[in-house]
Amino acid sequence: MQDTGWLGWIWFAGIMMIVMGAFNAIEGLVGLFRGEYYVANGEQVIVFDLTTWGWITLLLGVLVALAGAALLSGAAWARVLTVILAAVNAVAQLAFVSVHPVWSTIVITLCVLVIWAVVVHGSEAAATLESSSR
């Protein structure tokens, strides 16, 4: 199969997952070490206290970044994992929307773009990888 211009969307998705993962990890670290920065209504963001939320966000950030790196390899399992983690990340940002509404909206939009790119154009990455290995 010949490379198409749409293959760039998979690269975009992988790089955005790495960037979003890094930002999530930073958000989690800030929640852990400087929790007062995020306090909107008392000591809780939705259900968890800020320490728990910080650990969850940090772990999610690491997983999202690793999924983005794996996506760049073209593996089918990485596409599935990327879609799942992008959806989880988008939902997790809803807990953050009361603290930083603009940032959460941007991240949710990027998650939707990543999901779209992987679902619509993921097979092109696999086909290109197969043709290059021959």
Residue 52 within any structural domain of the chain: yes
Is 27 domain-assigned? yes
The mean pLDDT of the chain is 82
In a domain, 86, yes or no: yes
| Domain housing 20 | 3-123
In three-state form (DSSP H/G/I as H, E/B as E, the rest C), the secondary structure along 72-83 is CCCCHHHHHHHH
Is the residue at 130 inside a domain? no
Tens of pLDDT, residue by residue over 41-82, are 555 555 567 778 889 889 999 999 999 999 988 888 999 999
Residue 134 lies in a domain: no
- Number of alpha carbons in the 13 Å side-chain half-sphere of residue 103: 13
- Look up the pTM and report it: 0.80
pLDDT at 30: 87
As a dihedral over the C-alpha atoms of residue 112, residue 117, residue 118, residue 119, rounded to 10 degrees, the angle is: 80
In this model, does residue 128 exceed pLDDT 90? no
Please tell me which residue, 61 or 126, carries the higher pLDDT value.
61
Residue 10 within any structural domain of the chain: yes
Looking at residue 121, what is its pLDDT? 81
For residue 119, is pLDDT > 60? yes
Domain presence at residue 129: no
Q: 84 with 26: CB under 8 angstroms?
A: no
The count of domains in the chain is 1
